[in-house]
Chain A
């Protein structure tokens, strides 16, 4: 009986095991092999060439600008997203008239796909049909080229991402807020603490696990940004908004060099692993 139950368990797990082996473990090993090989897109494996692909990363004129831009973009997005989603969560935390509507309004952009949202804003920012130029004109201001300069393209994309994801992070923080027992606030109030003191000394510390999750998700998501820049800015103007993942895409499918793309991918994977472990450690230490 025990033996057959063990066998049955293994049998139920077998499809997942097989799938994970073929579609996760095998490609993970293969990307290492590809990164060490001369591997043109069409010709395929042309044999080992270690460490050529890795040396090529440093020589790629787009690599460091892409790393710098991705980090800058991540910093801006993470700060704005956490700030705004915390504000939204606080707005809708207490049940009062209108919170149901506000919750839905803030959350609705999250239901869209990232590519759909990017295409939406591609039209939204366009001088051809976008609603922004008429508004600027109405206010007596000069029309702005929302995607035309490096700075404008960066901030326009940041607005899109904050709009798309703030509601999602609001829900995570809302769950965290609602897990704080109300009597803690009651006790603080009796001790004479004001709104801000309660916020700083109760809400923020008790919200740490939820804030930590929001931090990890937004950092990882922003570092791996692709869709929004591919659709909205195409990396332009003048390659000023090329992210690291876009660089991988370009090496692989525009310069047809899978080996070089694989090498950058391995570097990105290593960097993310180190970062994630560091973030987990930092958050665990707090507890």
Chain B
């Protein structure tokens, strides 16, 4: 009797909470296609709000391209830096090694906004302000602590014997890295790639500050600006369509790479 009561209340609580958590997600999908007088989907269900988004300002495709370009660039920068750095920290001793590793982790201690003010000025001097490459470099900065840490522990977990036998066969350290080590650390690469992609895809404050031209805007900034469209009236339908467009790649990546999500969080927990 006691256990039955416990089990029922457990399921009511757990089920009720999952409804609360899922409801806003389901609602945004619904609101983006449902008919509503105040949106571009006047009668019947359909993709009027998405069509409005396609024509909005520089166009949805432009923003999708900008976001994709910045995200892919950020992933590439992050992977190259963290693979080389992680390999160096895990397998070599050199002057300043521990200091460099600590400084890299210390990036986490400094608030984003504190660095964006001077970076705004510096990127201007470098001719990179308002460019997507400059934005990707700044986004890479905040991925480095996690990425370098992750790649360091990934390389450290590879047995040294594998490397040594390759060395005996005459391979140099770079050959060992590209021909052997990269295959051994691929789960780490996927986790780092996944997290840096999601961070770049979703970042808001850096592109808001660093990129002001409308046709270089990334999706989150473009959709946030969209709210002031059409003579001060907010286009709520198109906003929710934009939310769906931004959310879809995240949900797909989650579905495909669930294991790597948890892996990333676990290393976060170890860090603490």
Contacts and interface: CB of A to CB of B under 8 A. Distances in A.
A65 to B, nearest CB: 18
A98 B14 contact: yes
Interface string B111-154: 11111011111100000000000000110110010001000000
B272 interface: yes
A255 B201 CA distance: 29
Interface in B239-255: 239-240, 242-243, 246-247, 250-251, 253-254
Contacts of B239: 119, 122-123
B204 A227 contact: yes
A95 interface: no
A7 to B, nearest CB: 8
A188 interface: no
Given A106-B18, A116-B202, A116-B247, A265 B236 contact: no
A64 interface: no
Contacts of B94: 6-7, 9-10, 13
Given A6-B92, A102-B18, A128-B236, A16 B114 contact: no
B80 A91 contact: no
Interface string A247-287: 01100110000100110011011001100100000000000
A226 interface: yes
Interface stretch (B50-58, B100-108, B183-191): B100-108
A190 interface: no
Interface hub of B24, B36, B209 (most chain A Cβ within 10 A): B24
B232 to A, nearest CB: 13
Q: Identify the interface centre among A23, A101, A122, A226: most chain B CB within 10 Å of its CB.
A: A23
A115 B202 contact: yes
B84 to A, nearest CB: 5
Contacts of A44: 121
Interface residues of B, number: 91
Contacts, number: 268
B117 A258 contact: yes
A204 interface: no
A5 B92 contact: yes
A79 B28 CA distance: 28
B39 to A, nearest CB: 7
Nearest to A259: B117
Interface in B245-272: 246-247, 250-251, 253-254, 261-262, 265-266, 268-269, 271-272
B72 interface: no
Contacts of A106: 17-18, 21
Interface in A10-48: 10, 12-13, 15-17, 19-20, 23-28, 30-31, 34, 39, 44
A272 B208 CA distance: 24
Given A20-B107, A23-B137, A213-B268, A224 B112 contact: yes
Contact of A19 (B14, B81, B234): B81
Given A12-B87, A23-B138, A114-B204, A224 B121 contact: no
Contact of B246 (A23, A24, A113, A121): A113
Contacts of A27: 115, 118-119, 122
A39 B124 CA distance: 14
Contact of B89 (A13, A98, A269): A13
Is the interface on chain A under 10, 10 to 19, 20 to 34, or 35 or more residues? 35 or more
A112 interface: yes
A9 B92 contact: yes
Interface of A: 5-10, 12-13, 15-17, 19-20, 23-28, 30-31, 34, 39, 44, 88, 91-92, 98, 101-102, 105-106, 108-109, 111-116, 119-124, 126, 128-129, 131, 163, 166-168, 171-172, 175-176, 209-210, 212-213, 216, 224, 226-227, 230-231, 245, 248-249, 252-253, 258, 261-262, 265-266, 268-269, 272-273, 276
Interface of B: 10-11, 13-15, 17-18, 20-22, 24-25, 27-28, 31, 36, 38-39, 80-82, 84-85, 87-89, 91-97, 100, 103-104, 107, 109-115, 117-122, 137-138, 140-141, 144, 148, 173, 198, 201-205, 208-209, 220-221, 223-224, 227, 234, 236-237, 239-240, 242-243, 246-247, 250-251, 253-254, 261-262, 265-266, 268-269, 271-272
Rank and list the top 7 A-B pairs by shortest CB-CB distance, nearest first.
A9-B92, A113-B202, A213-B272, A16-B85, A12-B88, A105-B18, A30-B118
